[in-house]
Structure 1
């Protein structure tokens, strides 16, 4: 066999097994819009919109720019993903997911690859547009100047409360909960909850709700020890972790 013949055959095999391109629609940026608001409006993640628009600067999004929005029936592989975790997140079997993506090698799933989701796939239960919206806002309001790990941990506390029968079961309800006549989160009281979340806070919200990241298992409260009165009840709670300026406790 000549090298030319072998090369042509190899190219044919690669073309048959290459990952399919993600389908996308194109939207025109309107005044006041950001990549975050566009992603939320189309119920896809910010990371997926950014991947579909590698040449777009999210900090300088001009009105009239055209932005590609990925199809909701696709999923972009992230670090740490496996077919099993992706299938579980979208409530389908591994076999069904693999059948929709015959090019995939389960033991070598490349980060950044685009998977097609079966028609029966459902969005991650927690990662609704409303939950993502309010999670990004509370993370930004409580930990805007903290490292990413602390931002994720703030989101984890909210999710832990959602899973506890003593608390409401949506992000917004937890954030705006009133107990004994008092809001549970100071930014709700002072109005900072309504400030626009930055990109890292949005990514932290997605890490918690879409990816299930839990960096402080069991934590139900957090506080800044430098700003917490000595008589506060939170000092009696066992501390799980110290991230940035925040303590996370049971």
Structure 2
């Protein structure tokens, strides 16, 4: 009888714990100063495109105080809980738990609902480059497809801006992905800058280098797209070329089409 009562009590405790931890569903996140859709995506294991779709956004521009729908687990605070214990139980950094809930003090109360960030979330603070440094530090993260510098992000974003201005956001990510795919392909140069500035047969590979548009500043959309591509997002699944569908170049059209977005065509090597 004693063992039976203990077992029932244990099962009741487990049942309450399971009720307090909810499955992944739509939750809300309030934007704070310095946030971007890219950093929020990192926090909740999603991406800018999905956040834009789920919130009916026409661009990646957001503002402090804006409430966004995010998909994440939530946890209902129980008596005796602390932020530290909750973070430890879910295997997430305490700083990420605080950020996911804009919670920078330690005051929580039973019944309060907390967003649980992704355990794989990376730092949302962009790497700082000392003004006296001539070489930007390499950036490594658990999700990065290649090592890159702050200068690489800027250059890639400017190419995206020049090539896909006015195109859907997925096309911008795809342009960035083509550059990353080339860096990773043995048939092309091995750095972002050398890929973008490459000449083949005396011709630049990317027209914005020739016409000077590569020197124009990038929008926040293009910067976010650059970060997504650098961290592995690839709507094309490996494309190495892109071109406007108005081109009459039969060599480009001979390539296998990987993706079409608006008037942009992305294709594989063969």
Query: Among residues 219, 238, 243, which one is paired with 1:218 in the alignment?
Result: 238
Contact 1:127 1:206 in 2 (8 A): no
Distance 1:205 1:78, change over 3 A: farther
The number of residues matched between the two structures is 159
Q: Distance in 1 between matches of 2:32 and 2:194?
A: 32
Matched residue of 2:171: which SS?
Answer: helix
**1:239 maps onto 2:205 in alignment:** no
Per-residue deviation, 1:232: 3.5
CA distances 1:166-225 after superposition (whole Å, capped 9, x unpaired): 111221110000111110000100101101111111110011113x11110121101111
CA distances 1:29-62 after superposition (whole Å, capped 9, x unpaired): xxxxxxxxxxxxxxxxxxxxx84446xxxxxxxx
CA distances 1:129-188 after superposition (whole Å, capped 9, x unpaired): 122111101100100110100000011111110001111122111000011111000010
Distance 1:190 1:103, change over 3 A: closer
TM-score (norm 1): 0.55
Over aligned residues, Cα RMSD in angstroms?
Answer: 3.5
Contact 1:224 1:246 in 2 (8 A): yes
Q: Distance in 2 between matches of 1:193 and 1:223?
A: 16
Contact 2:96 2:117 in 1 (8 A): no
Q: Which runs of 5+ in 1 are unaligned?
A: 1-49, 55-69, 82-94
**1:180 maps onto 2:201 in alignment:** yes
Q: Distance in 2 between matches of 1:115 and 1:139?
A: 24
Contact 1:101 1:116 in 2 (8 A): no
Q: Which runs of 5+ in 2 are unaligned?
A: 1-30, 48-87, 98-114, 125-138
Matched residue of 2:265: which SS?
Answer: strand
Distance 1:126 1:232, change over 3 A: farther
Q: Residue 18 of structure 1 corresponds to which residue in structure 2?
A: none
For the pair shown, which has the larger CA radius of gyration, 1 or 2?
2
Q: Distance in 2 between matches of 1:235 and 1:116?
A: 41
TM-score (norm 2): 0.51
Q: Residue 105 of structure 2 corresponds to which residue in structure 1?
A: none
Q: Residue 222 of structure 2 corresponds to which residue in structure 1?
A: 201
Q: Distance in 1 between matches of 2:166 and 2:237?
A: 22
